Amino acid sequence: MFYEIRTYRLKNGAIPAYLKVIGEEGIAIQKRHLGKLVGYFFSEIGPINEIVHIWAYESLDDREARRARLAADPAWQAFLPKIRDLIELAENKIMKPAPFFQMEKVERR
């Protein structure tokens, strides 16, 4: 399993607008193609104006194929301009879990 950790630094004050449009439109398109969403977060303390989302893939080939399908989707192409100008900086990491680590489901109370 591989985890893609995408971190975006947004323009000052853009988090509410970004989360609104992602929640209303973007996340459904992404989930349709990218598959397993591990988490989607925004900063509360520490570096401000950050969004982090984490996706799980079976392999790097799986990731490449899924990202290509997302990029080719006309709905995603139409959606991108709605968030593009809100993002100042994007960083992407591919992480592999340590052999002794298993993701656990976090329960909300």
User: Domain of 91: which CATH number?
Assistant: 3.30.70.100
pLDDT of residue 71: 96
pLDDT of residue 1: 86
Structural domain containing residue 31: 2-95
pLDDT of residue 76: 96
Residue 107 lies in a domain: no
Per the structure, how many domains does the chain have?
Answer: 1
pLDDT of residue 44: 86
Task: Give dist(CA 7, CA 37) in Å, integer.
Answer: 14
pLDDT of residue 74: 97
pLDDT of residue 17: 95
Helix or strand or coil: residue 108?
A: coil
Residue 39 lies in a domain: yes
Residue 106 lies in a domain: no
Residue 28 lies in a domain: yes
Residue 83 lies in a domain: yes
CB-based contacts of 22, cutoff 8 Å, min separation 6: 40, 83
Residue 100 lies in a domain: no
Supply the pTM of this predicted model.
0.85
What phi and psi values does residue 42 have, to the nearest 5 degrees?
-130, 150
Please list the rounded mean pLDDT of every run of 10 residues in the chain (109 residues).
Answer: 94 94 95 92 89 94 95 96 94 90 60
Could you write out the DSSP letters of every residue in 1-34?
Answer: -EEEEEEEEEPTT-HHHHHHHIIIIIHHHHHHHH
pLDDT of residue 104: 63
